[in-house]
Amino acid sequence: MDRARLAAFLRTRREALQPEDVGLPRGRRRRTAGLRREEVAAISDMSTDYYSRIEQRRGPRPSEQMLAAIARGLRLTLEERDHLFRLGGYPTPRRAVRADHLDPGLMRIFDGLEEAAAQVVSDLGETLRQTRLASALLGDETAHTGMARSLHYRWFTDPGARRVYPEDDHPRHSRLIAADLHRTYTRDGRDSRAGTIVDALLAGSPEFAGIWREHPVTGPYCAPKRIQHPHLGLLELHCQVLLDPGRSQSLQVFTAEPGSESDEKLRLLAVTAGQRV
C-alpha cells in the first residue's frame, strides 16, 4: 500500500468534482475546491472520520470493498478504479466480474433524473441503481443477492419476477431475456459470470433450455413494455436505453405517451413515491 500516493490521488479526484456532479446541492459560502471530505464519505457510505484518515495517510488499510465504494462515490473511470486498487496494494479487479462499478458518465446522467423512472442495469440484468419512481413502478430490484441479483436468472427461477408484466407478455419477455443473456455469454465465454448463470438455468429451467437451444438473437431488450402495477393497474410505457462505452451497463428510462392514461398513472405514482420518502 502506498499511503502517500493513495492520499494524493483521492484528494485530486475529490477536488475535481463539484457537488452537482454527484447530485448534491452546492449551498452557500463554499470555499472548498471540489467536494468536501464529508461529502465524499456520505456518497461512499462510510464515516467522515474513516475517509479523512485515508486522505491523511493514517488509519487501517482500506479493504477492497471500501476502495470500491470510494471509486463509485468519486465517479472514477474503470482505469482510475484499477489505479486506486493498485495504490491500495490489491490486484486490479476483473472487469467482467466487478460489474457493480457504475460508468461515471451514466452516473452523471442518472443523478439528473431524480424525478424520472430510471435505473442503471448491468449486462447480466443486475439493477445497480434505481430512482424512487423506478422502484415504485417495478419494485426494489437492487435488494437481491447472489445469483438472484440477475433478472435473467430470476425470470426463469422465481415466479414473483414476472408479476409486474401481464401474463400474455411473458413468452416475449422470456425470449428477449434469454437473447440478452446469450449475447453476454457469447462475448464473455463459458468461464464467466454469464456462463455460471447459463449453466444454472440449463439445469433448472426447461423453458430457458428450450429457448437456449434455438440460439436466440433479438433486438434491444428494453423494448416498449406493459407494466402491471399492483395498485394502478396496467401502464403502457416506452423504454429508452443509453449504453455506456463498454456496452456492459445501460441506463433505462421509462416514459409514457403525454396525455395518455398511462402518463396520468405515472404522474400519480411519482407523487406517492415522493410521499413515502
202 within 8 A of 211, measured Cβ to Cβ: no
Confidence label for 254 from pLDDT (cuts 50, 70 and 90): very high
For residue 89, pLDDT beyond 50 = yes
Q: Which sign does the torsion angle of CA 175, 253, 266, 259 carry?
A: negative
Mean pLDDT computed over 29-47: 84
250 within 8 A of 260, measured Cβ to Cβ: no
Q: In whole angstroms, what is the distance from residue 69 CA to residue 77 CA?
A: 13
CA neighbor of 263 nearest in space, from 236, 225, 230, 231: 236
The 10s digit of each residue's pLDDT in 125-138 is 999 999 999 999 99
Task: Name the packing angle between helices 64-73 and 78-87 (round to 10°).
Answer: 140
pLDDT at site 181: 92
Mean pLDDT computed over 190-211: 94
The 10s digit of each residue's pLDDT in 15-36 is 888 887 777 877 777 777 788 8
Domain ranges in the chain? 3-87, 104-275
User: What are the counts of helices (DSSP H) followed by strands (DSSP E) for the chain?
Assistant: 12, 5
CATH code of 104-275, in short, is: 3.30.450.180
State the DSSP H helix or E strand holding residue 222, giving kind and residue range, or none if neither: none
Confidence label for 222 from pLDDT (cuts 50, 70 and 90): low
Given the C-alpha cell 467522515, which residue does it identify? 48
Question: If 0-12 CB within 10 Å is exposed, 13-18 middle and 19+ buried, where does residue 76 land?
Answer: buried
113 within 8 A of 101, measured Cβ to Cβ: no
Q: What is the mean pLDDT of the chain?
A: 86
3-87, what's its fold?
434 Repressor (Amino-terminal Domain) (1.10.260)
Q: How far is CA 164 from CA 98, 111, 135, 260, in A?
A: 28, 25, 12, 20
| 66-71-75-79 Cα dihedral, nearest 10 degrees | -170
137 within 8 A of 227, measured Cβ to Cβ: yes
Task: Name the packing angle between helices 48-55 and 64-73 (round to 10°).
Answer: 90
| DSSP tag of 247 | S
